[in-house]
Structure 1
């Protein structure tokens, strides 16, 4: 009798486990995923380039460099929201996540464009590399916005 009860409890447990609702995952199109990956990689490259600058050597441009770095962090927040929603079982990213990336990159580029004179060649190279990376990231983020890339529940 104990075996029958145990078997009955086991069968009921299996059916309850199978009947449990599946968690939805956020999805996006492959093209949108590609835009986000390229934008994220370019933002990381720009952050590394700007991070290598010693702002103490160029006090006159320190504010603009630091503002560009902060704006890159804002852009990275949008990328992180998108990535988190796709890689975890988090809810979909906000509809304006790609627009957040674009706004952060535009602000970072505007800050870099206000740099007036760089005497140090390594700083010039770092600013040029960051500028090129941000332009690449901005292009991809704008394409994501134009394609109306959003994460949705699957």
Structure 2
């Protein structure tokens, strides 16, 4: 079965629904689509429930996108995976790393709630010094003649 991607963009969140086989021959397509999504979104939801084949190259692409999202201050979520995807994820124990298990709508809503929480969190006040000009240092007294005066004897 051929690979099919459907991309849904919504502000800081992008969802990509993937259908068909994801393998070494086309995992780069998933990776590039995810990278394009993360160029404008902080949160990426991958809907993998229609994936019919999923190998280690596919997992590598997904893990790459997860690291990329985290580096940008966001996150990747994998929605309810199909049996072939679940088999690979379980065998390699990466379910917690990828936050697997929610439906697409629930994952999208959770990412949106997290974005709103992060975006509206109060920022700590930055203490700034007063806006005054620096006071020039006074020359020490008793150290030679003052400028402009000739020494008399």
TM-score range, shorter chain: under 0.3
Answer 1 or 2: higher relative contact order, Cα 8 Å, separation at least 6. 1
Higher strand proportion, which one? 2
- Rg larger in structure: 2
The answer to which structure has the higher helix fraction is: 1
